[in-house]
Each structure stands twice: as structure tokens, then as C-alpha cells.
């Protein structure tokens, strides 16, 4: 790298004022690329709930029996992980003016000559210029750097949006786990009640001499096993409630009533092709990676601009106004061409890295989505089968087995087997409904919209 020095003497105070003004303009220049203000406004609108410090933040309380979507809305206003992504977005926005501003500073200096121990006002000079340790960067370089920072900020904003959908899926997953456990407890309590009734009948028959003591012991064991299963599931509720409260940014032990039942899911009306198209159009991660590709392309532009020289300017005058000077230096990257060539090649390689990453992400999301859709549709098929055929048939079989046992035409084992089959099918249906809704929530997060 070499420097070319240009020194010019100028007479006239108006000219020196002009040169000082030019130095001020160059050193104070900031480039604001198109779209920066819109990105700032978008961040302000999206982060209204996070603009107040946590200690002073007021979030509307949850209803007494919140619905899943009310829990999601609460989490979107208070979740700390989401807030972290928001401030990362705001931080990325503030990088734009930093990259678009001249790296040099304005330097003002005064010189007082002393001759034979004497000095005077007419021997004083003033000068203004940029920091001699940092050149003035040409505006095209600042523009490319600012555009690169803007694309990175846009990517951060899209990842904030991605986190919103992921948080929704996490809250719904946690809620469905909580609701499923509550539903299984209710099913087991209902089963225990049936078993207690059966045990009373067995004991009555044993007293009448029509049933053996072995049947009494079996019936009592079945009641104890069922009660134990219900208590074991009850023990899971505090941990599941704590996990859900953590997503809501609430105290782990904060009360949260158990849901009264699992929701009945609406049918999926989209085809696989339509859902995959939504991924391409709406997925925030793919959009963020597209912005990162644009940012790295701006990095290629910026690397190529390093072939252009930078400049330094300085202007001075004596206080009498008799003589003025203008000093200009051009920093020519004559000895850095290999390094710049390598930087350009590296920037191009970075673009290829981002492009490959986006293609793989596209493939991974499509595969994940197709697996979720396959699970979801298979769950719908099974739910329809069990709900319309198997479950009603099994309930009828239990009724017939109980009547047959009470009339002495069947054994206790036959009745217990029928009851076990019924409770197993009801558990299976509850698990299928929960798994279906969780897969649907995951698919919603990938497509960035509700697919119901």
C-alpha cells in the first residue's frame, strides 16, 4: 500500500473555510440505505410488549381457565427467549449506521511558532482534517457495508418471527401434554370406579357362595393397580405445569388449572403440495437465510471495492489569513492486491456456503413437514376408526360382559378383560388426539400460519 501526498497553498479565507467544511462533511458522513427506517418501524411495532423493562411491565393476567390460544398470547408478551431474539434484532439494526459511518474522526489542531524565545498572534496557525491514522472511506464502500448490515438486520427480524411460531408450538405441545395427563387421570379414575363396582359385586357373590375368595382377591388387586396408576399420573402434573409456566415466564409453582378435556381437532384441508408451497413462501428461517445470502453478496461487493483507494484531507491557515494550505493524501492499495483477491474469493465462497445451507434447510423442512403430515393424517384415520367403530363396539362388549357375569354366564376374568380393553382404547384415542394436535402445531410453525 502506498500513499500519494498532495500539498496546495491557497490564499483567501473563503477557500480555507470551504476546505474545512469539506473535511467536516467527509468525516461526518453516514449512509442510511433504503429500507432501514422501515425495518426500525417494524421492530418498534413488534416489540411494544418488550419496550418496558421487566420490573415495570404489566401483562394482562390469564383467565381462570385459559384456552390454548390464550396461553400462546400470554407467552408472546412475556417469554424471555422471545425477548432475547427481539433485542438481537434491535442490536442488528443499530449496526447499520455504525457500518455506514466514516471510521475516521475530525482532528482540529493549533500550532504556535516560537522564534528566539518570542511568539506572537501572527505566528499561530490552525488546521482541520481527518484522523491521520484512519483514512476517509469512499462513499460506495460505506453504502455496501450499510446494505450488508441491513440484510443481517432483516435476517434477525425474521428469526424473531420464527421464534414466535416456535414458541407457539412449544406452548401448545406443553399444554397438550398437560391436558393428556389430566385426561388419562380421568379415564383411570373412571376405570377405578368400574373396578370398585365389580369388586363389590364379587364380594356380594362371595358372601352368597357363588364366587370364590380368589375372585375377591383379584378384584381388589385390580382396584389397587388402577388407583396406583392414577396417583402416578397425578405426580406428573406438577412437572408438566412447571414446564408450561416456564414458557409463560411465570413462577414454576404458579397455579394453572388442568384442562377439562382434549380439544377436538379441525380437519386438515390442505394438500401436501399446498403445504410445501406455504413453506417456500412463508417459512421465516428460509427467508432469513435468503437475507443472509443477500448480505454475503454485499460482502462480495465490499471486498471488490477495496481495490479503490482511500483519501485523507487536511486544511490549515494562519490567523492573519495571509496563507492557507490544503493537504491531500491518497492511500493506494498497490501492495495488497493478493490479499484483496483472496478476500473477494472468500466472500464468494461465503455466498456459496449460505446458498448450500438454504438448500439443505429447504430439504430438511420439507422432509419434517411431510413426516408431520403423514403422522397427522394417520392419526385422523385411526381416530375415525376408533371413534365410529371400535370404541362403541368395545363399550357394548363391556356392558354385555357385565350382564353375563352378574347372571353367572361369564367369569370375572371375562369382565376384567373387557374393561381393560375399553380403557386401553380410550387411552389410545387420547394419545392419538394429543399427538395429532402437537404435529399440527409443529406444521403451523414451519408454514408460519394455522393449517386448520
Provide φ and ψ at 175, rounded to 5°.
Answer: -65, -40
Per-residue confidence (pLDDT) for residue 362, from 0 to 100:
96
pLDDT at 121: 65
Reference 221, options 420, 25, 26; nearest CA is 420
Look at the block and give the residue holding cell 477495496.
306
Nearest residue to 83 via CA among 32, 110, 46, 135: 46
296 belongs to a structural domain: yes
**DSSP class per residue in 73-90:** HHHHHH-HHHHHHHHHHH
Residue 117 resides in a domain: no
Instruction: Give pLDDT, residue 351.
Output: 97
Q: How far is CA 285 from the centre of its chain?
A: 9
- Is the Cα torsion angle 146, 148, 151, 156 positive or negative in sign? negative
Pseudo-torsion of CA 33, 38, 43, 45, nearest 10°? 170
Dist CA 402 CA 396 (whole Å):
10
In a domain, 452, yes or no: no
The count of domains in the chain is: 1
The pLDDT score that the predictor gives to residue 25 is 53
pLDDT score, position 414: 81
Q: Is residue 121 situated within a structural domain?
A: no
| Residue 20 covered by a domain | yes
Would residue 56 count as lying in a domain?
Answer: yes
35 Ramachandran zone, left/alpha/beta (phi>0; psi -120 to 50): left
Whether the CB-CB separation of 288 and 85 falls below 8 Å is answered with no
Structure confidence at residue 9 (pLDDT): 40
Looking up residue 163, the CATH number of its domain turns out to be 1.20.1600.10
- Within a domain: 201: yes
Domain span at 425: 2-110+126-447
Per-residue pLDDT in tens (0 to 9) along the chain, 452 residues: 444 444 344 444 455 454 555 555 554 578 999 999 999 999 999 988 898 888 788 878 888 889 999 999 999 999 999 999 999 999 999 999 999 999 988 888 888 777 766 666 667 888 888 888 888 898 999 999 999 999 999 999 999 999 999 999 999 999 999 999 999 999 888 888 888 887 888 888 788 777 788 888 888 898 899 899 999 999 999 999 999 999 999 999 999 999 888 877 778 888 999 999 999 999 999 999 999 999 999 999 999 999 999 988 888 887 777 778 888 888 899 889 999 999 999 999 999 999 999 999 999 999 999 999 999 999 999 999 999 999 999 999 989 988 887 888 887 778 878 888 888 899 999 999 999 999 999 999 999 887 66
Q: Is residue 116 part of a domain?
A: no
Amino acid at each position: 500500500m502506498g500513499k500519494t501526498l498532495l500539498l496546495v497553498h491557497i490564499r483567501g479565507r473563503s477557500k480555507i473555510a470551504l476546505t474545512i467544511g469539506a473535511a467536516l462533511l467527509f468525516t461526518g458522513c453516514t449512509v442510511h440505505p433504503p429500507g432501514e427506517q422501515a425495518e426500525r418501524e417494524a421492530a418498534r411495532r413488534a416489540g411494544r410488549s418488550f419496550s418496558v423493562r421487566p420490573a415495570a411491565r404489566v401483562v394482562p393476567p390469564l383467565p381462570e381457565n385459559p384456552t390454548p390460544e390464550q396461553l400462546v398470547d400470554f407467552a408472546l408478551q412475556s417469554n424471555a427467549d422471545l425477548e432475547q431474539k427481539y433485542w438481537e434484532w434491535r442490536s442488528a439494526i443499530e449496526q447499520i449506521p455504525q457500518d455506514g459511518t466514516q471510521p475516521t474522526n475530525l482532528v482540529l489542531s493549533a500550532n504556535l511558532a516560537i522564534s528566539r524565545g518570542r511568539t506572537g498572534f501572527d505566528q499561530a496557525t490552525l488546521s482541520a482534517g481527518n484522523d491521520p491514522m484512519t483514512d476517509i472511506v469512499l462513499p460506495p464502500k460505506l453504502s455496501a457495508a450499510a446494505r450488508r448490515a441491513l440484510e443481517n438486520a432483516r435476517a434477525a427480524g425474521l428469526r424473531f418471527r420464527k421464534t414466535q411460531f416456535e414458541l407457539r408450538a412449544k406452548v401448545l405441545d406443553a399444554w397438550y401434554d398437560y391436558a393428556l395427563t389430566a385426561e388419562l387421570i380421568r379415564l383411570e379414575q373412571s376405570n377405578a370406579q368400574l373396578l370398585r363396582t365389580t369388586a363389590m359385586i364379587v364380594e356380594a357373590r362371595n358372601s352368597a357362595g357363588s364366587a370364590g375368595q380368589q375372585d375377591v382377591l383379584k378384584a381388589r388387586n385390580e382396584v389397587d393397580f388402577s388407583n396406583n396408576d392414577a396417583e402416578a399420573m397425578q405426580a406428573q402434573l406438577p412437572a408438566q405445569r412447571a414446564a408450561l409456566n416456564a414458557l409463560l415466564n411465570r413462577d414454576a409453582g404458579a397455579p394453572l388449572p388442568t384442562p377439562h378435556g382434549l380439544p377436538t381437532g379441525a380437519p386438515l384441508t390442505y394438500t401436501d403440495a399446498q403445504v410445501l408451497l406455504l413453506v417456500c413462501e412463508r417459512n421465516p428461517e428460509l427467508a432469513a437465510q435468503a437475507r443472509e445470502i443477500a448480505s454475503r453478496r454485499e460482502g462480495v461487493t465490499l471486498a471488490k471495492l477495496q481495490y479503490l483507494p482511500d483519501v485523507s484531507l487536511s486544511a490549515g491557515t494562519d490567523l492573519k489569513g495571509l496563507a492557507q494550505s490544503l493537504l491531500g493524501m491518497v492511500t493506494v492499495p498497490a501492495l495488497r492486491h493478493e490479499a484483496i483477491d483472496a478476500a473477494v474469493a472468500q466472500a464468494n465462497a461465503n455466498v456459496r456456503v449460505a446458498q448450500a445451507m438454504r438448500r439443505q434447510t429447504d430439504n430438511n423442512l420439507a422432509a419434517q413437514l411431510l413426516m408431520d403430515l403423514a403422522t397427522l393424517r394417520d392419526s385422523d384415520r385411526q381416530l375415525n376408526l376408533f371413534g365410529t367403530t371400535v370404541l362403541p363396539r368395545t363399550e357394548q362388549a363391556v356392558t354385555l360382559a357385565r350382564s353375563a357375569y352378574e347372571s353367572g354366564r361369564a367369569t370375572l376374568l371375562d369382565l376384567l378383560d373387557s374393561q381393560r380393553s375399553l380403557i386401553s382404547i380410550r387411552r389410545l384415542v387420547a394419545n392419538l388426539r394429543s399427538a395429532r394436535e402437537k404435529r399440527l402445531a409443529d406444521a403451523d410453525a414451519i408454514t408460519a400460519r394455522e393449517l386448520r
